[in-house]
């Protein structure tokens, strides 16, 4: 099990039916949970672009990673919570993900 960091980052989920924008609920080395306004079927292969939000106009460079949707549940009347697992990452992606998680750990006081 990987430590999870509760963080609200901007996310773009690109799948076979187009792009869905949302925000993360939490992130770990193995995957993330996101909130979006459209559902995505479990088993769907997607590409995630995650950007830290520093303020209303300042974002980090996006981290693009391949993932698979593991679960999707309704959250209230119009939102969905989407759980994803990262697929194998290229070495550069893995290094950037590690840096991203170190930042969250330091920021969280971990």
DSSP 89: P
| Model pLDDT, residue 6 | 81
Nearest to 11, CA basis, from 48, 43, 56: 48
Largest Cα–Cα distance of the chain, in whole Å?
A: 40
Delimit the domains of the chain by residue range. Answer: 5-107
| CA atoms of 94 and 101, how far apart (whole Å) | 10
Residues 5-107, CATH architecture: Beta Barrel (2.40)
| CA atoms of 101 and 80, how far apart (whole Å) | 24
Q: Give the pLDDT confidence of 14-73 residue by residue, as tens digits.
A: 999 899 999 999 999 899 999 999 999 999 999 999 987 777 777 778 889 999 999 999
Q: Give the pLDDT confidence of 79-101 residue by residue, as tens digits.
A: 999 999 999 999 988 888 888 88
DSSP H or E run through 46: strand 45-51
């Amino acid at each position: 099990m990987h430590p999870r960091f509760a963080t609200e980052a901007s996310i773009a989920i690109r799948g076979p039916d187009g792009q869905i924008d949302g925000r993360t609920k939490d992130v770990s080395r193995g995957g993330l949970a996101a909130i979006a306004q459209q559902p995505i079927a479990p088993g769907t292969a997607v590409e995630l672009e995650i950007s830290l939000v520093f303020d209303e106009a300042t974002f980090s460079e996006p981290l693009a990673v391949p993932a698979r949707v593991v679960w999707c549940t309704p959250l209230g009347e119009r939102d969905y919570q989407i759980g994803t697992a990262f697929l194998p990452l290229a070495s550069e992606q893995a290094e950037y993900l590690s840096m991203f998680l170190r930042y969250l750990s330091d920021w969280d006081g971990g």
